C-alpha cells in the first residue's frame, strides 16, 4: 500500500516537473513575443499580428501549467501566524480538511469552466484577429483545474501515510 | 453590510487556520455571493473571473517583471550597485548604511519585491558593515528598511495588484511611485544620520574613494540603471505599455546576465520555473481576492461605509488618516499581500467616494505596507534578514529599525498631506 502511494507520489512529481518546464518555456516565449512585437512596430513598422491574443494565451499557459504543481506542493500563499496550527495531530487533521475543501472548490469551479468551454465550442467562438477557437484555451484551463484537484488528492494520500506529520509549508510571502 | 462583515471575519478565521489565502477568499466570496444572489450565479461568476483574469493581458506584467527582478538578483548585479553607492557615501559616518539604503533603492528600480531586495542586499552589504564594525542594529535595520523600497519604486508587484483591483492605470501608478520612493531614500538617509549622530560608534566612516574609483564603479552599473531608465522612461513617455515595458525589461535583464556569463542554461531554466511558480501563486490569491471583492461589493459594504462616514460628517482627510491608522494596526499582525487584498476592495471605493485620487491612495497603501514589513511582531523583512543572518537577534533588528519606522511615519504623513508628490509625474503623462 505504502509502495503504491510512493509510486503515485513519484509519478505526480514527474508530471509536476514536466508542467513546470512547460510553463517556463511559455514564459520565455512570452518575453520574446513582446520584444518582437515592440521592435517590429518601431523599427520595421510591422507589429506581430494578434500579439495581444497571443500574450493572453501565453498567460493562460504560464498560470495554468503551473497550477497543478502548486497544488501538489501545497505551495500556496498562507498566513502563518499561529504556531498552534503548524504541528501536531490537530494541525494534521486540519490540513487534510483544508486540502479537501481546496479539492471541492477546484472541482466545482472546473465543472463550470468546462460548461464555458462547451459553450465556446458550440458557439464556434474564435479570437478577433487570429481566429483561434476559444474553446481550446478554456478546455486547457478546465483540464488544469481538474489536474490540480487530482494532485491535491495525491497530496492527501501522502499525508494519510504519515499520520500526525504536517509537511512544512512552502508558501511564502512574495512581495 | 452585516453579511460582508461576517464574510470578512470568516476569511480572517480561515486564513489564520492556515487555509491558503486564495481558497479562503474564494470560498467565502462564493458562499457570500451565493447567499445573496443564488449559488449558480456565484459559481458562474467565479468561473468567469478565473477564465478572464487567468488570460489577462494587463496582468502579463507580473510574470515578466518578476522574471526581470530574479534575473538581476541571480545575475550578481547587487554587488556592483552597492559598490557604486559606497564609493560616493562610504567615507561619511554611517556611510556604509547610507550606501546600503541607496543601493537598495537602485536594486528596487529593477526588482519589484521587498523581500528579494532585503535578502539580496543583506548578502552584499552585511559583510562590509561587519568589517567596519558597524553595530548589528544599525547594519541590519538599514537593510530591512532599505528593502521595503522594493515595492514602491517601480516596477512593483504590489502596485500591479492594486491597479488591477481598483482599475487604475498601472503605468501611472508606477510613475507615481518614483518621487515617493526618492523621498523614502532621503528620509532613510536622515534616519541613518540621526542614529550615528546619537551614537557615533554605531556606524564608523569607511575609506574615501577617489574619482577614478567612482567613475569605474559607475561604469559597472550603467547597464542596470540604463535598464531601469529604459523601462520606466519608456512607460513615462508613452513608448511602451507596462506589458511591453515588462517584456523589454525582462529581455534586457537576460542580455545583461548573458553578457556577464552569470547564468547557465540550467540556472536560467530555474529562474523561469521560479517565476512561473511565483506568478501562479500570486494568481491563486488574485482569483480569490477578485471573487471576494465581487461579494463585498454585492453586499454593499463600500456604500455602507460611505454612508457611515457621511453620517459622522467627518472631514475627508480625517477619514483617510483613520484608514491609514487601521492599516498600521493591521500591519502589526497581517502580512502585506493579505492586508492589501483584503482591504483595498473595501477602502478604495470609500476613498474614491470622498473625492480622492485612487493613484495617490495606492501610493499611500504601498507606503503603509512598507511600514508593515518592518513593524513588530511579524515585520517580514526583519524575518527574512534573520533567515540570512542567523547570528543576529530579532530584537536587535527591531531595535535598530525604530528610527527608520519613525522616518516612514513622517513620509506617510507628508505624502498624505501633499498629494502632489505622488501625482505630479503622472499628471505630466
**What angle do the packed helices B61-74 and B242-260 form, to 10 degrees?**
20
Mean pLDDT of A91-117: 93
Tally of CB atoms within 10 A around B307: 13
| Residue A171, pLDDT above cutoff 60 | no
State the 10-residue block means of pLDDT for chain B, 429 residues long: 86 87 92 93 95 90 88 81 88 90 87 80 86 89 88 86 89 93 94 91 86 86 86 88 91 88 88 92 88 87 78 84 88 76 87 92 92 80 78 84 92 94 90
Which chain A residues are closer than 8 Å to B57 by Cβ? Answer: 52, 55-56, 59
- Cell numbers that stand for B101 in this block: 539604503
Residue A169 has a pLDDT of 52
CA distances to B93, B135, B144, B400, B408 from B198, rounded to whole Å, are 12, 13, 20, 13, 19
User: Residues 65 to 84 of B: which have CB under 8 A from any A CB?
Assistant: 67
Q: Give the span between the Cα atoms of B361 and B302, in whole angstroms.
A: 16
Closest CA to B136 of B67, B203, B60, B70: B203
Residue A2 has a pLDDT of 66
Place of cell 483544508: A98
Residue A81 has a pLDDT of 67
- Cell numbers that stand for B54 in this block: 487567468
Q: Is B106 helix (H, G, I), strand (E, B) or coil?
A: helix
Mean pLDDT of A101-130: 94
Question: In the structure, what pLDDT confidence band is assigned to residue A153 with cuts at 50, 70 and 90?
Answer: very high
How far is A169 from chain B, CA to nearest CA, in Å? 10
Question: In the structure, what pLDDT confidence band is assigned to residue A172 with cuts at 50, 70 and 90?
Answer: very low
Question: In the structure, what pLDDT confidence band is assigned to residue A175 with cuts at 50, 70 and 90?
Answer: very low
Give chain A as a DSSP string: -HHHHHHHHHHHHHHHHHHHHHHHHHHHHHHHHHHHHHHHHHHSS-PPTTHHHHHHHHHHHHHHHHHHHHHHHT--------GGGTSSHHHHHHHHHHHHHHHHHHHHHHHHHHHHHHHHHHTT-B-TTT--BHHHHHHHHHHHHHHHHHHHHHHHHHHHTSTTPPPPP------
Mean pLDDT of A71-88: 78
Mean pLDDT of A19-35: 95
Residue A114 has a pLDDT of 96
Choose the mutation target among A63, A66, A112 for the interface with B, i.e. most B CBs under 10 Å: A63
Residue B51 has a pLDDT of 95
Is the pLDDT higher at B55 or at A81? B55
pTM listed for this prediction: 0.86
Residue A52 has a pLDDT of 92
CB pair distance less than 8 Å for B46 and A25: no
Mean pLDDT of A138-162: 91
Q: Give the span between the Cα atoms of B157 and B145, in whole angstroms.
A: 18
Mention every residue, 6+ apart, whose C-beta is less than 8 A from residue A93: none
Backbone angles phi, psi at B75, to 5 degrees: -80, 0
Mean pLDDT of A40-61: 92
Positive or negative: CA dihedral B101, B427, B59, B224: negative
A133 has which bridge partners?
A126
Amino acid at each position: 500500500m505504502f509502495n503504491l502511494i510512493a509510486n503515485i507520489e513519484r509519478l505526480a512529481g514527474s508530471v509536476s516537473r514536466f508542467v513546470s518546464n512547460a510553463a517556463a518555456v511559455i514564459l520565455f516565449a512570452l518575453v520574446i513575443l513582446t520584444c518582437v512585437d515592440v521592435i517590429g512596430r518601431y523599427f520595421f513598422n510591422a507589429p506581430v499580428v494578434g500579439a495581444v491574443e497571443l500574450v493572453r494565451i501565453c498567460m493562460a499557459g504560464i498560470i495554468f501549467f503551473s497550477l497543478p504543481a502548486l497544488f501538489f506542493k501545497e505551495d500556496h500563499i498562507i498566513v502563518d501566524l499561529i504556531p498552534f496550527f503548524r504541528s501536531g495531530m490537530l494541525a494534521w487533521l486540519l490540513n487534510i480538511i483544508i486540502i479537501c475543501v481546496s479539492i471541492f472548490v477546484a472541482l466545482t469551479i472546473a465543472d463550470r469552466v468546462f460548461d464555458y468551454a462547451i459553450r465556446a465550442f458550440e458557439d464556434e467562438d474564435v479570437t478577433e484577429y487570429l481566429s483561434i477557437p476559444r474553446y481550446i484555451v478554456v478546455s486547457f484551463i478546465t483540464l488544469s483545474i481538474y489536474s490540480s484537484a487530482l494532485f491535491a488528492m495525491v497530496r492527501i494520500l501522502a499525508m494519510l501515510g504519515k499520520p500526525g506529520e504536517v509537511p512544512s509549508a512552502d508558501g511564502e510571502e512574495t512581495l | 453590510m452585516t453579511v460582508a462583515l461576517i464574510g470578512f471575519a470568516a476569511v480572517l478565521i480561515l486564513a489564520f487556520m492556515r487555509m491558503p489565502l486564495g481558497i479562503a477568499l474564494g470560498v467565502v466570496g462564493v458562499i457570500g455571493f451565493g447567499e445573496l444572489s443564488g449559488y449558480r450565479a456565484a459559481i458562474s461568476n467565479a468561473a468567469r473571473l478565473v477564465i478572464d483574469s487567468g488570460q489577462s493581458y494587463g496582468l502579463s506584467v507580473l510574470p515578466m517583471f518578476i522574471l526581470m527582478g530574479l534575473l538581476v538578483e541571480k545575475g550578481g548585479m547587487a554587488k556592483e550597485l552597492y559598490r557604486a553607492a559606497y564609493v560616493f557615501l562610504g567615507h561619511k559616518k554611517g556611510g556604509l548604511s547610507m550606501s546600503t539604503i541607496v543601493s537598495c533603492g537602485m536594486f528596487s528600480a529593477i526588482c519589484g519585491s521587498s523581500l528579494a531586495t532585503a535578502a539580496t542586499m543583506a548578502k552584499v552589504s552585511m559583510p562590509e558593515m561587519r568589517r567596519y564594525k558597524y553595530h548589528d542594529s544599525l547594519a541590519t535595520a538599514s537593510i530591512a528598511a532599505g528593502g521595503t523600497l522594493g515595492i514602491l519604486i517601480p516596477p512593483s508587484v504590489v502596485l500591479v495588484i492594486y491597479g488591477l483591483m481598483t482599475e487604475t492605470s498601472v503605468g501611472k501608478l508606477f510613475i507615481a511611485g518614483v518621487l515617493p520612493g526618492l523621498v523614502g531614500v532621503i528620509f532613510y538617509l536622515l534616519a541613518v544620520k540621526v542614529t550615528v549622530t546619537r551614537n557615533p560608534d554605531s556606524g564608523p566612516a569607511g575609506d574615501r574613494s577617489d574619482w577614478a574609483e567612482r567613475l569605474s564603479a559607475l561604469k559597472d552599473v550603467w547597464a542596470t540603471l540604463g535598464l531601469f531608465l529604459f523601462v520606466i522612461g519608456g512607460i513615462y513617455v508613452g513608448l511602451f505599455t507596462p506589458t511591453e515595458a515588462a517584456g523589454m525589461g525582462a529581455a534586457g535583464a537576460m542580455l545583461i546576465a548573458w553578457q556577464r556569463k552569470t547564468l547557465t542554461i540550467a540556472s536560467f531554466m530555474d529562474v523561469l520555473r521560479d517565476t512561473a511558480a511565483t506568478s501562479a501563486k500570486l494568481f491563486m490569491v488574485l482569483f480569490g481576492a477578485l471573487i471576494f471583492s465581487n461579494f463585498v461589493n454585492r453586499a454593499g459594504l463600500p456604500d455602507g461605509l460611505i454612508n457611515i462616514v457621511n453620517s459622522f460628517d467627518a472631514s475627508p482627510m480625517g477619514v483617510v488618516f483613520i484608514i491609514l491608522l487601521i492599516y498600521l494596526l493591521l500591519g502589526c499582525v497581517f502580512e502585506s499581500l493579505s492586508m492589501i487584498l483584503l482591504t483595498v476592495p473595501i477602502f478604495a471605493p470609500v476613498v474614491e467616494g470622498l473625492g480622492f485620487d485612487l493613484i495617490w491612495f495606492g501610493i499611500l497603501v504601498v507606503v503603509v505596507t512598507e511600514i508593515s514589513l518592518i513593524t513588530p511582531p511579524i515585520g517580514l523583512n526583519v524575518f527574512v534578514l534573520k533567515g540570512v543572518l542567523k547570528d543576529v537577534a530579532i530584537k536587535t533588528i527591531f531595535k535598530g529599525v525604530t528610527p527608520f519606522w519613525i522616518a516612514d511615519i513622517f513620509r506617510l504623513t507628508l505624502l498624505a498631506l501633499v498629494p502632489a508628490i505622488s501625482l505630479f509625474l503622472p499628471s505630466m503623462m
